Structure 1
Amino acid sequence: MLIVQDLRTKQRYWKTSEPGKNDFGPGQIIMKFGEQLRTSVIKEYQWYYIAYDELKQQLKTDWATPPSKSNPKGKRKEWTEDDESKFIGRLEQELDKVHTKQKVKAIEISRRIAASEKEVGDVVARLDNRGPVGRDGNAQNDDAPTEEEFMMLEEDLSDIIADVHDLAKFVSLNYTGFQKIIKKHDKQTKWMLKPVFATRLKAKPFFKDNYDADIVKLSKLYDIVRTRGNPVKGDSAAGGSQGNFIRNTTKYWVHPDNITEVKLIILKHLPVLVFNANKEFEPKDSAITSIYYDNPETWDLYEGRLKKSEGAEAIRMRWYGDVDTETIFVERKTHREDWTGEKSVKARFNIKEKNMNAYLKGDLLPEALFEKARKDGKKSAKQIDEDERLAKEIQYSVIQKGYKPVCRSFYNRTAFQLPADARVRISLDTELTMVREDNLDGRQRSGDNWRRMDIGIDYPFSQLPAEDIERFPYAVLEVKLQTQAGQEPPEWVRELIASHLVEAVPKFSKFIHGTATLFPTRINLLPFWMPQMDVDIRKPVTQHFGIRRPGHSAQSSTSDDDEDDEDSDDEQYVEEGEGSQSSTALGSSDENLNRLREAREIENRAPGNELDIEEQMAAQPLDDEDEPLYDSDDEDNESDKIAEARHSGSWMYYPLLMKKHARMAGQHIIRTVDSMRKPNPVPRNGMISALGNGKITSKKFKAPKGKKIHVPVRVEPKVYFAAERTYLSWIEISVFIASAATLLLNFDHQPTVGALIGSGMFTLSAIASLIYCMAIYVIRSRAIRSRKAIKYHDSVGPSVIAFLFLAAFVINVIVQAHARGYIQMSWLD
């Protein structure tokens, strides 16, 4: 992918890098990674970035044959051992420089957080000890904290948050620089340095810190200051301990470059959900593991969840933390169609790990499982009855339908939510990994146990073979809302999901993705997002939304720093932002307070949720609206049939080839007519016009041979009724035309030749209409039942039928005119 900047409009956009196909007009520039690195420098770190250009220059040896007219490229000397030694020495210096700066800055941030904890604690203590409030609304105790103190604390915390963001960007850009310079070294010198240098990176892992512990602390402090010492209190487990709960969830992908920024943005509005505030945060606290069950012969649970069939279920065993936990949650998700009036439900109960095998094999019945719970009386009898009924249903399904463990999902979750308030709950799942749990290929992974025991939470699970693991490249953001009817989500949530930081992927499922990728020879029906895995989801910054340092205007967002591109052979990049100099000196305290007040006022009157580039492009008409986005309805496509016929020498080769060319000619004629008929689309705003000529092209995703891509199609009872109403309307028209034919035939006592011709034409039109509507109804009904994403409208059939009606009407007028002597036609006499 390339980032292209239009110098006239100052707009930037991503463009796929295709050798020989890139077309950049005048006034558009593309920069290489070195230039991107220089323009993304943060002031505080400007002397600590990798010296990428110098390292790249060191890879060039002296000329053996200087360039000349006869040999423009020339020839350089061979790379020697001495050159390699010097290069490695310089690379070690750069690695040590970056690692030292990252380590020192991380320690500084930790100390600043500790100092802020003390300051916030002192202010809260003074707040708790304040005297009674007077008539003016202020505390009578002079030592009570003032609004200015809280604003200063909020400013300090915002500055620390910006520091965390800048450090994460610094680390990300340098890590990319090291990867690129190693790749360039191996490519140019033919000396393989990548495996050796990977060991050096492990010794100085400046890129390994994920700052989760700092984010948890900052979230708690910022929530206290934001609420002026009165954070929302309640049971953090509220909503999680109940057996049945309903949520409306929308899912998004987040690129690794944007994960820390997304976390920092959310914590300024919602605190990190911590179940045990008295316990120090540990990495295992965020680990969640689930094992999904299915029948490896039929894959009915997989296909049911993929097709979103009414009543489709998913059964999984989930635990939190490491594998040594004793509590396992047995869960069942049930999908309900909207037209049923019910909501999809997730129900679960907990069980001890030592009882799992006996329960799943049927040796331990649910009555015995809940016997102790009934005696303890900690739960209501109604809740125990519901859990017991659920346990019976899941046990029956596992035993009778042959469900086995097939796929494990592991991720670290950061949840944001007000305690005891589930109206807005946001979770971000990072390091998402899917692992095989089956024994289908003869390898005993889980054996007779309900799960495999050779892995825990030691991501990235390097001990596993490549065929057993799928490491998902993005984080998954889930926005869960419980709003009343007609109520909109908070403004900041709408701004976040419309920003460049996330990519919407509705109905994404870890179970579906893991099963589809881990069993490529057994799964033939793929989810619709699979083709997107080869598309870079990063988008250019389209609005000033992100982490802002206190005292900076809204035009200098730190999110504009360094959206570096993925690795490519040409290594071409473009300047990402002019506001990357985010770390500047702060002014006086009074000026900072005024600027902070202004910033808060600007945030309060933030504009509405505008469409980003991707959404605006999606809203524009495509070049060919009749072409489906996914070409996967037929398992054997036309090209494969032609190739097979040609290879085997079949007589069907030439008919198939002629059919293909005829279809392509017809499509070309239709497109030509449409282009003459349709006006040129007018861009919605300058953002779209900056993308080039304003023409939007769509990529047509094609499924691998032998597989199909399932595209979600919304099917409700009214869809069937609509097809029936269309069918009945066509029949009604056909009956009217047939009645007209009968009337013409019986108008006179002795029908004339003209009456027979006119009646015959109308009769043929009525028969053609009946045949057409019956065929279309059958085709549409089958497609609706199978939920195929096909073109349900027909632009050809109705036109042909209308032409037949018109021809019958014209011929009847001519015949009647001849019968009345207005015109003379010998063939009618």
Structure 2
Amino acid sequence: MKFGEQLRSSAIKEYQWYYIAYNELKDLMKKDFVTPPTKENPKPKRQEWTEEDESKFITRIEQELDKVYSKQKLKVIEISRRIQNSEKEVSDIVARLDNRGPVGREGAAGNDDDAPTEEEFMMLEEDLNEITADVNDLAKFVQLNYTGFQKIIKKHDKQTKWILKPVFATRLKAKPFFKDNYDADIVKLSKLWDIVRTRGNPVKGDSAAGGSQGSFIRQTTKYWVHPDNVTEVKLIIMKHLPVLVFNAKKEFEAKDSAITSIYYDNPEKFDLYEGRLKKTEGAEAIRLRWYGGMDTETIFVERKTHREDWTGEKSVKARFAMKEKNVNAYMKGDLLPQAIFEKARKDGKKPAKVIDEDERLAKEIQYSVIKKGYKPLCRSFYNRTAFQLPADARVRISLDTELTMVREDNLDGRDRSGTNWRRMDIGIDYPFNQLPPEDVERFPYAILEVKLQTQAGQEPPSWVRELIASHLVEAVPKFSKFIHGTATLFPTRIDLLPFWFPQMDVDIRKPATQNFGIQRPGQSAQDSTSDDDEDDDSEEEDAEALPPTTAAASNSDGGANYLRNSTGDRDSQNAPGNSLDIEEQLGALPLDEAYPLYDSDVEDDESDAIEEARRIGGWTYYSKVLKKQARLVGEHLVSALKAVSPIPKPTPVSRNGTLTQLRSNKIESKRFKAPKGKKIHVPVRVEPKVYFAAERTFLAWLQFSIYLSTIAATLLNFGSKPTRLSFLASGSFMVVAVMALLYSVAIYLYRSSAIRTRKAIKYHDSIGPTILCTALFIAVVLNMGFELKARNYI
């Protein structure tokens, strides 16, 4: 979609006269032609851009900036005052409820004359809806105008050859209408919504408590959220879940949401990275985490351990706290775990059993770091907004914005952290402009993480299912900040890339789902603000036109096959009961191309090997060429057999609303290739029954081979008298038996190796049974022919 069209379709009535005059600014850049257009020269040269033209353009764009900035500031003040007024009204209602006393609340006694009515709560809810819609509209207004300014400046510099971008960037800093993220307003609105939603009886409890988890099954899925949709997603969640605040008495500050982690790994082997990427049994991740600014004294040492399903255990995250001043000594082995927990044992504030477990964890982490040579390699920073009922972890949602990964190593000769456990030249000052580009990776999307602890057979809340099935999010299962940061910051040392890398170059925005999102009741049709997009840039041409506080360009390269719905629309009315496993649902849809979904780099490796052998010459070169030709002949033979073999029909699966929508539209399958020397790791889930299924299949083929060889021996040894025809008849069955035996051994070894290495291969066999049946049919026909000939019937 071109920006002028987007501006027209996205304009909000209240702001219709305050948007950037995009078309008028474009018209100012259009100079008259030097000569009239002709058939021979339909696009003649235009007049030169002069200093007077530049002055007019700057004056006009300054006026537009003033207009947008003034409207934004006034609206912020208005929203702030409306929130204050709502806080007073809600406080009055809460006070009236408290005056009734516990008996009055039961309705048995007390003063009920002054009790708030349901109508009052509904009026407050309507006011909060209006304020929530105002915040959402303002965020969209700001985002759209910022994009408009970026695009018009880029167009100006390209057409006029007068560079205005650096100068205008200074003007934007002076009037930063795009800097506000409205988190403070969202926290205040969240408290009000919680009180009104519960009719004055919000859930109380320890915000740090997670509730009992013994009787729950936990399900976690991650999504990407485009910066355009971050505020709307926060507002939608806020209406159903309160923002999790650990200290309700403290005024919200920006640093309260900051979370920073330092990830450790072996700089030579990167074995922790590879283990977490491949999800091998027992794979660990070791990190040091703190909340808030760099002045925080408490550091959490954490270890994540991945467990396979077949083990019967769950993946766990364990951690213990220590003082920042002791971290260096602990990680180097100078400070033993016993000394760390000595004070805790004396104080007696924690149970001895808990202290023993923490001490055991500290010993294991310290031993791993020292023995395996783990060093601080990567830092992740982000601002987290968590939504959860206090002391109730059944539904927990977190949204991480401004995600940034930073190098912490000293590998290339640069002294980043020195002998310290973290570098000290940065804090939480996003976007870390003081760092060189090779040291920082600014992730372009926000990360939405949905954690559900629902009892077996229980459906997630309907609003959660609608949200994750909407146009506002993009499912990216198993996304990892540690994996992404390591892969992008160490491109020369990492050869195996995560599967989501190709998606980094794809715009995840989708058309809006009807009747979903923050909408104002009775909202009128949107008005137009521009009408000429003839020479406009498309959205894909200007990905950097995003506020620097919420997005940054991605330099990720990689390759994979990325499956997308061409329309991007999703059905929220028939949201699935298990929409979180969207990757499994998509797996049920047929593709035009054969599985596996990712291009391998076999051909590239082979071409490189042949080119190298060409320089050597002789038999080395000819053997490589013959091997390649043999592989190509084999592939063509397999393709021919596939063409003549019966095509199995897929097993019908039940589809929810999302899949119905996907099924009704065209599914596009794009094929990506990894950069030279790199590979894309395809996550493969191997169930325990797959091992046994491979063995059962092999035994079934072996049994079939034994039956055929028995038939062959019977034909040869139990005839009236051995003849040449009986030898041929038994020989045909013996050939089929040997072929089946050799094929079964080969396919079993191939599958076993693929299962062990978690390769994405086709574990079903559509060729072997067809060939076997054909060969058996031929053997039976030959046997009948030989027998009929022996009896002189033919």
Q: Does 1:215 align with 2:183?
A: no
Please, what is the CA RMSD of the aligned residues?
A: 3.4
Distance 1:692 1:38 in 2: 31
Equivalent pair of 2:462/2:575 in contact (CA under 8 Å): no
For the 8 Å contact 1:622–1:698, the answer to whether it is kept is no
- Counterpart position of 2:92: 122
* Cα contact 1:58–1:87 (8 A) shared by 2: yes
Q: What is the identity, as a one-letter code, of the residue corresponding to 1:149? A: E
Aligned residue for 1:581?
Answer: none
Alignment pair present for 1:803 and 2:771: no
Please tell me whether residue 626 in structure 1 is matched to residue 597 in structure 2.
no
Going from structure 1 to structure 2, the CA distance change for 1:550 and 1:706 (only over 3 Å counts) comes to same
CA offset at residue 38 of structure 1? 1.9
Aligned to 1:43: 13
Is 1:87 the counterpart of 2:76 in the alignment? no
Structure 2 counterpart of 1:399? 370
**Within 5 Å, which residues of 2 pair with 1:168-187?**
168-187=139-158
For 2:169, give the aligned amino acid: A
Is the contact made by 1:524 and 1:707 (CA closer than 8 Å) also made in structure 2?
A: yes
Residue correspondence of structure 1 range 426-437 to structure 2 within 5 A: 426-437=397-408
Q: Is the 8 A contact 2:468 2:579 kept in 1?
A: no
Is the Cα contact below 8 Å between 1:169 and 1:561 reproduced in 2?
Answer: no
Are 2:254 and 1:286 equivalent residues in the alignment? no
1:812 to partner: Cα distance: 0.4
Q: Choose the corresponding residue for 2:391, options 420, 437, 445.
A: 420
Once the two structures are superposed, what CA deviation does each residue of 1:238-258 show, in whole Å capped at 9, x if it has no partner? 13999xx99532111111110
Quote the offset at 1:672 in angstroms. Answer: 6.4
> In 1, Cα distance between the equivalents of 2:686 and 2:529?
45
Unpaired segments ≥5 residues, structure 2: 542-571
Moved more, 539-548 or 302-311: 539-548
Provide the C-alpha distance between the structure 1 equivalents of 2:536 and 2:336, rounded to a whole number of angstroms.
57
Alignment of 1:652-671 (within 5 A): 655=626, 658=629, 662=633
Cα distance in 2, alignment partners of residues 732 and 714 from structure 1:
29
Shift of 1:666: 5.3
Residues 738-757 of structure 1: pairs in structure 2 closer than 5 A: 738-748=709-719, 750-757=721-728
Give the secondary structure class of the aligned counterpart of 2:670. coil
2:476 matched residue in structure 1:
505
Are the equivalent residues in 2 in contact too, given 1:495–1:609 (CA < 8 A)? Answer: no
Q: Deviations over 1:31-60 (max 9, x none)?
A: 632132122211100000000000111110
Structure-2 residue corresponding to 1:267: 238
* Corresponding position: 1:768 with 2:736: no
Contact 1:483 1:489 in 2 (8 A): yes
Report the counterpart of residue 593 of structure 1 in structure 2: none
Aligned to 1:23: none
8 A Cα contact 1:412 1:431, kept in partner: yes
SS where residue 518 of structure 2 aligns? coil
Q: Which residue of 2 aligns with 1:367?
A: 338
1:411 aligns to 2:411 (yes or no): no
Shift in CA distance, 161/648, structure 1 to aligned 2, threshold 3 Å = farther
Among 697, 700, 709, which residue is 2:671 paired with? 700
More displaced, 707-716 or 423-432? 707-716
Q: 1:420 to 1:611 in 2, by over 3 A?
A: closer
Tell me if structure 2 keeps the 8 A contact 1:633–1:788. Answer: no
What is the DSSP-based 3-state SS (H/G/I as helix, E as strand, rest coil) of the residue aligned with 2:431?
coil
1:322-377 deviations in whole A, cap 9, x for unaligned? 01100000001111111111111110000000000111111111111111001101
* Cα distance in 2, alignment partners of residues 312 and 687 from structure 1: 34
Indicate the residue corresponding to 1:67 in structure 2: 37
Measured in 2, the distance between the counterparts of 1:147 and 1:426 equals 29
- The letter for the 2-side match of 1:724 is E
Match of 2:323 among 324, 330, 352: 352
Maintained 8 Å contact 1:635/1:706: no
Contact 1:620–1:696 (CA under 8 A) maintained in structure 2: no
Say if 2:2 and 2:537, in contact at 8 Å, map to a contact too.
no
Query: In the TM superposition, what is the alpha-carbon distance from 1:690 to its structure 2 partner?
Result: 10
Q: In the alignment, is the contact (CA less than 8 A) between 2:211 and 2:392 conserved in 1?
A: no
Task: Spell out, residue by residue over 1:143-172, the C-alpha distance to the aligned partner (whole angstroms, 9 max, x if none).
Answer: 221111111111101110000000001011
> In the alignment, residue 785 of structure 1 is paired with which amino acid?
R
> Which of 426, 439, 446 is the matching residue for 2:417?
446
Residue of structure 1 equivalent to 2:71:
101
Q: Secondary structure at the match of 2:669?
A: coil
In 1, distance between residues paired with 2:52 and 2:174? 24
Structure 1 residues 421-500: aligned runs within 5 Å = 421-500=392-471
In the alignment, the residues of structure 2 paired with residue 676 and residue 336 of structure 1 have an alpha-carbon distance, to the nearest angstrom, of: 37
* Residues 416 and 690 of structure 1, relative CA distance in 2, 3 Å threshold: closer
Following superposition, the deviation at residue 620 of structure 1 comes to: 7.3
Give the residue type in structure 1 aligned to 2:763.
Y
Partner of 1:583: none
Amino acid at match of 2:393: A
Q: Do the aligned residues in 1 keep the contact of 2:16 with 2:529 (CA within 8 Å)?
A: no
Matching residue of 2:548: none
Q: 1:688 to 1:305 in 2, by over 3 A?
A: closer
CA, structure 1 residues 483+763, in 2 after alignment: closer, same or farther (shift >3 Å)? Answer: same
Letter of the 1:413 partner, please give it.
R
How far apart in 2 are the matches of 1:426 and 1:712?
A: 25
CA distance, structure 2, for counterparts of residue 134 and residue 241 of structure 1:
29
Q: State the AA in 1 paired with 2:596.
A: P
Cα 1:262–1:358, aligned 2, differ >3 Å: closer, same or farther? Answer: same
TM-score, normalised on structure 1?
A: 0.85
1:715 is displaced (CA, Å) by 2.1
Deviation at 1:819, TM superposition (A): 1.5
Matched, 1:821 2:792: yes
Q: Is the Cα contact below 8 Å between 1:435 and 1:514 reproduced in 2?
A: yes
2:3–2:538 contact (8 Å) kept in structure 1: no
How far, CA to CA, are the matches of 1:491 and 1:370 in structure 2?
45
| C-alpha spacing 1:177/1:487, structure 2 compared with 1 (3 Å) | same
Equivalent residues of 1:470, 1:518 under 8 A apart: yes
The answer (yes or no) to whether the contact 1:134–1:140 under 8 Å persists in 2 is no
How far apart are 1:749 and its partner, in Å?
Answer: 5.0
Distance 1:664 1:340, change over 3 A: closer
1:133–1:139: 8 Å Cα contact kept in structure 2? Answer: yes
Shift of 1:628: 2.0
Closer/same/farther in 2, CA of residues 662 and 285 from structure 1, 3 Å limit = same
Quickly say closer, same or farther: Cα 1:150–1:277, change in 2 above 3 A.
same
CA, structure 1 residues 561+251, in 2 after alignment: closer, same or farther (shift >3 Å)?
Answer: farther
Distance 1:610 1:370 in 2: 44
Question: Equivalent residue for 2:195?
Answer: 224
Partner Cα separation in structure 1 for residue 663 and residue 364 of structure 2: 58
CA distance in 1, matches of 2:625, 2:608: 14
Per the alignment, residue 565 of structure 2 pairs with none
Q: Distance in 1 between matches of 2:60 and 2:456?
A: 62
Counterpart contact for 1:33–1:572, Cα < 8 Å: no
Aligned residues: 751
Say if 1:290 and 1:205 are closer, same or farther in 2 by CA, change over 3 A: same
- Percentage identity across aligned positions? 73
Q: CA deviation at 1:411?
A: 0.2
Q: How far apart, CA to CA, are the structure 1 residues paired with 2:363 and 2:106?
A: 63
CA distance in structure 2 between the partners assigned to 1:69 and 1:643 by the alignment: 51
Whether contact under 8 Å (2:465, 2:579) holds in the other structure is no
For 2:525 and 2:100, locate their aligned partners in 1 and report how far apart those are by CA, in whole Å: 38
1:534 maps to 505
Relative to structure 1, the CA distance from residue 673 to residue 110 in structure 2 (aligned partners, 3 Å threshold; closer, same or farther) is farther
